[in-house]
Structure 1
Amino acid sequence: MSDPRLVKLLGRPGPWTSAYVDGPSVLPQVEEEALRRSVRERLEGAGAPADDAAAVESTLAARNGLPSPSARVVLVSAGRVELDQGFVGARIGPERLDHAAVPRLLPLLHHLGAATRYLVVETSRDGADIHLETSGRGRSDADAEIEGDTDGITKVQAGGWSHAAYQRYAENTWKKNQDEVAAAVSDLIRQEHPAFVALSGDVRARQLLADALTDTERELIVDVDAHTRADGADSTELDAAIARAIAERDRSIIGELHDRAAADSGSGGAEGIAEVTAALQQARVETLLLDGRMLDDERTLLALDAAPWVAAAESESLGAGVLATVPAAEALARAAVLTDAQVLIEDDEPTADDAPREDRPVRDPVAVLRWADDTGARDES
């Protein structure tokens, strides 16, 4: 489903000034000022009005509280900032500075499409800290702390009958505490539908918590063998496990989309600019998948001011006005947003830092359709 604020934004007249740049850094103030000044000058060189370029520069000067590195998208029209959004993590690709009849959406959609909602549970025998997170935001969506019973929390090394009794008492206390944590986790899973649950903390507490969850809930657990709830604990292992889980989820989603688009001789999907454009014109696209390399592709389409929103030629506009000739990926993504479709961008698999980029052609856009059209099934030959 499209972001309602983007749909509203795209309904406003242009032209638009767009900036996709690095967020606040740890550079000395004089160097940051020079970078912002460079952004303003390059925007003016791209045709942006002075008021727009100045608005971008002023917006970038206002720190948004995100840690470095981060990325920032700013969209301005008629000297007014219509969107300013930051994302934790480095930019995905080069800076984009542009002035055109329609806003440059792909950097923003790239980050939004990669966002993953998940739970982080850092547990110990006396309770847990629970965080609902969305990747790229740099802050928790919600936090909860479960403070369990601490009476007799440590197993006492006594002898004979009293030793066994204390052991049982301590174990029962741990179990009671983790039952309480499990109830809170179950509620969040049911309400928020996280992609996974990153579970770290004391090893026995993790075991008891997992035992208290249902089989379906346990399938969401990404177990992290690190006691991150301890004072001064290092979160490196937890952060790495979360990154791996997000990457695995992304691969799974992309693979599923390709499978759905190809099923039944391709009747439920569209592939290639012409097919995908036609499907968007009919508002049949549920999810649009673009190759990350298509962001720099030289092919173009027409962006329209009303439905069908995108066309290869004016003869396909159905009476809508032509706003501009724009890169094909931007035109397809804009039409997808305006017809309530999801947009995802498929990046190359990560390689070693010093490995050369794979030499391959740009993959065609792929769409999963809302309803199949048997007459439009792709030829398997």
Structure 2
Amino acid sequence: MEPAFLTPLYERPGPWASVQVDTGWTDESAAARRELQARDICDELAALGCDEATGAAVYEALTARPDGAEDAGRAVYAAGGEVVLDQPLSARPPAPMDVTWSALPRVAPLLDLAAQDPVCVVACIDRLGADLEVRTPLGGRDAGTVGGREYPVHLTGRADRSARHFRQSVENTWEHNAAETAAAVAQCQADTHADLIVLAGDPRERAAVHRRLPEALQDLVVETEHGGRAGGASTRLLDEDVDRARREHVRRRADHELERFRSAHEATAEGVPALVEAARQHRIAELLVRPDGPDNGREVWIGAEPDQLSVHRSDARYLGETRPEPARADDALLRSAAVTGARGECVHPAAGDDIPAGGLGALLRGPYGDGERT
């Protein structure tokens, strides 16, 4: 995950109301249940010390969910009487609701519930061109249409010399349109920095487009037999294939980062004290978080700036902060990662594997932010 989208949360002071809720129900009583859920959340926030204006902003956001929305859940962050981020979740939270009132927004759950979804270009291809769509963690949007040559595109059943010439013209049209589609897909990927390309449509057309994509994009491509420009019943199957491809991409990416961490040795840090020191020096290139790690909720001390953090309260005074506040280690380190351009990655090692130790680890840049990543 690129946590840069979290930076608005760090451009204003706290304390913060952070709410993750399960909204994976769409029955007739959904509106009433949503309103009751919002009341319970606001009561809990008030008990934790949340001010009335911020609680009211959270209530309004939670009750304003559009009819027909099919999010698995939502994460709402508010401070100073205003909702700053209202993030749909792609996976249902482990608890019906998780409510905190703290110095920093409680963003660590997003690594596993929301922003991990890769950006994906979906191309529904036929002989005339393709319809393009971009799917992001925040939803999908139309990315335009590729229109190639329209004639000739259909073969005849004749076998004479003129028919063979016509067949060659048809195949030339197919090849031309495949090249046009491949160029458009490549440009869409470049514009969106997509992590994944899904090609849908008839086998011949999607294979022709696949072959013409640049070598650098070949490893990003997944083909599916479902879906097409006509839509219809195959749309649901295409959606399932796209979701499956995105989940598999996330798993492969996390496994790759975990293997890099295992093999990097001297260019890594793990454990809260080492990570706090790396964050002070802006050396974290990629922060790895294991959701079940015992150190994730360990208390650290923070100041107003992302590099103002320490393991002990007394140390914070030497970092230019006279009134440090307590925070969870995972949230404090994610703030540092978001503001300094580092990545965040949720990892799920095999059973019994406690890497990174304590649940938190990092791949490091060179000393003092020289910009080099391992």
Distance in 1 of aligned mates of 2:215 and 2:18 = 47
Structure 1 window deviating more from structure 2 (183-192 vs 12-21): it is: 183-192
CA distance in structure 2 between the aligned counterparts of 1:369 and 1:231, rounded to whole angstroms: 46
Q: 1:371 to 1:112 in 2, by over 3 A?
A: farther
SS in 2 for 1:139: strand
Shift of 1:145: 0.9
Displacement after TM superposition at 1:232 (Å): 1.1
* 1:8–1:38 CA distance, 2 compared to 1 (3 A): closer
Partners in 1 of 2:146 and 2:51 — Cα distance?
54
Could you tell me how far apart the structure 2 residues matched to 1:259 and 1:237 are?
33
Distance in structure 2 (CA, Å) of the matches to 1:93 and 1:359: 21
CA positional deviation for 1:296: 8.8
Amino acid at match of 1:341: A
Equivalent-residue separation in structure 2 for 1:13 and 1:200 (angstroms): 47
1:91 maps to amino acid: R
Q: Tell me the CA shift for residue 65 of structure 1.
A: 7.4
Give 1:81 shift. Answer: 1.9
Q: For residue 362 of structure 2, what is the aligned residue in structure 1?
A: 367
Give the corresponding residue for 1:91. 92
Matched AA of 2:166: Y
Aligned to 1:105, the other structure's residue is in SS state coil
**Aligned position for 1:290:** 289
- Measure the CA separation in 2 of the matches of 1:216 and 1:65: 42
Q: How do 1:237-276 residues align onto structure 2 when only pairs under 5 Å count?
A: 237-263=237-263, 266-276=265-275
> Could you tell me how far apart the structure 1 residues matched to 2:121 and 2:37 are?
37
Question: Per the alignment, in what secondary structure is the counterpart of residue 106 of structure 1?
Answer: coil
Number of aligned residue pairs: give it: 361
Structure 1 position 121, deviation (Å): 0.9
Query: Which residue in the other structure is 2:371 paired with?
Result: none
Q: Structure 1 pair 330/189, CA: closer, same or farther in 2 (3 Å)?
A: closer
Partners of 1:335 and 1:216 in 2: CA distance:
31
What is the deviation of 1:122? 0.8
Flag the 1:157–1:62 CA change in 2: closer, same or farther, 3 A. Answer: same
Q: Do the aligned partners of residues 6 and 192 (structure 1) sit closer, same or farther apart at CA in structure 2, a change above 3 Å counting? A: closer
Q: Is the CA contact (8 Å cut-off) linking 1:262 and 1:268 kept in structure 2? A: no
Runs of 4 or more consecutive aligned structure 1 residues displaced over 6 Å after TM superposition? 359-362
1:254 CA displacement: 2.6
Matched residue type, 2:333: L
Render the CA deviation track for 1:151-190: whole Å, top value 9, x for unaligned: 3322112242343233223222222222221221222234
Deviations, residues 2-45 of structure 1 (Å, cap 9, x unaligned): 75664453242222211111348523322322222222222223
**Partner SS, residue 199 of structure 1:** strand
SS at 1:219's partner residue? helix
Contact 1:305-1:322 within 8 A present in 2 as well: no
TM-score (norm 2): 0.84
1:209 Cα deviation from its structure 2 partner: 1.6
Q: Cα distance, 1:72 vs. partner?
A: 1.7
Tell me the distance in 2 between the aligned counterparts of 1:5 and 1:198: 25
Distance of aligned partners of 1:359 and 1:65 in 2 relative to their CA distance in 1, 3 Å threshold? farther
Q: Answer whether contact 1:66 1:86 (CA < 8 A) is retained.
A: no
Cα gap change, 1:57/1:201 in structure 2, threshold over 3 Å: closer, same or farther?
Answer: same
Q: Deviations over 1:337-356 (max 9, x none)?
A: 3444322222467xxxxxxx
Once the 2 structures are TM-superposed, how far is the Cα of residue 203 of structure 1 from its aligned partner? Answer: 1.6
Contact 2:281 2:367 in 1 (8 A): no
After TM superposition, the score normalised by the length of structure 1 is 0.83
Alpha-carbon RMSD across the aligned residues, in angstroms, is 2.9
Taking the TM superposition and a 5 Å limit, the aligned residue runs for 1:188-337 are 188-263=188-263, 266-294=265-293, 297-306=296-305, 308-317=307-316, 318=318, 319-337=320-338
Aligned-residue identity in percent: 27
Q: Alignment partner of 1:292: what SS?
A: coil
Q: Which runs of structure 2 are paired with 1:1-381 in the superposition (5 Å)?
A: 6-23=6-23, 25-27=25-27, 28=29, 29-63=31-65, 67-87=69-89, 89-94=90-95, 95-111=97-113, 113-134=115-136, 136-140=137-141, 142-263=142-263, 266-294=265-293, 297-306=296-305, 308-317=307-316, 318=318, 319-347=320-348, 363-371=358-366
281 and 64 in structure 1: CA distance in 2 versus 1, 3 angstrom threshold: farther
Cα distance in 2 for partners of 1:11, 1:202 equals: 49
Shift of residue 363 of structure 1?
4.2
Residues 1:228 and 1:256: Cα distance change in structure 2 (over 3 Å): same
Q: Alpha-carbon deviation of 1:192?
A: 3.3
Change (3 A) 1:114 1:332: same
Alpha-carbon offset, residue 120 of structure 1:
0.7
Distance in 2 of aligned mates of 1:114 and 1:21: 18
Structure 1 Cα separation of the partners of residues 177 and 67 of structure 2? 35
| Cα distance change of structure 1 residues 193 and 212 upon mapping to structure 2, 3 Å threshold | same
Q: Distance in 2 between matches of 1:269 and 1:248?
A: 26
For 1:273, the aligned partner's letter is: V
Post-superposition shift, 1:313?
0.6
Task: Tell me the SS of whatever aligns to 1:157.
Answer: coil
Segments of structure 1 that go 5 or more residues without pairing to the other structure are 350-357, 374-381
| 298-307 or 312-321, which deviates more | 298-307
Residues 273 and 61 (structure 1 numbering): CA distance in 2 closer, same or farther, change over 3 Å? same
Cα distance between partner residues in 2 of 1:159 and 1:137 = 53
Please give the secondary structure, in 2, of the residue aligned with 1:143.
strand
Secondary structure at the aligned position of 1:33 is classed as helix
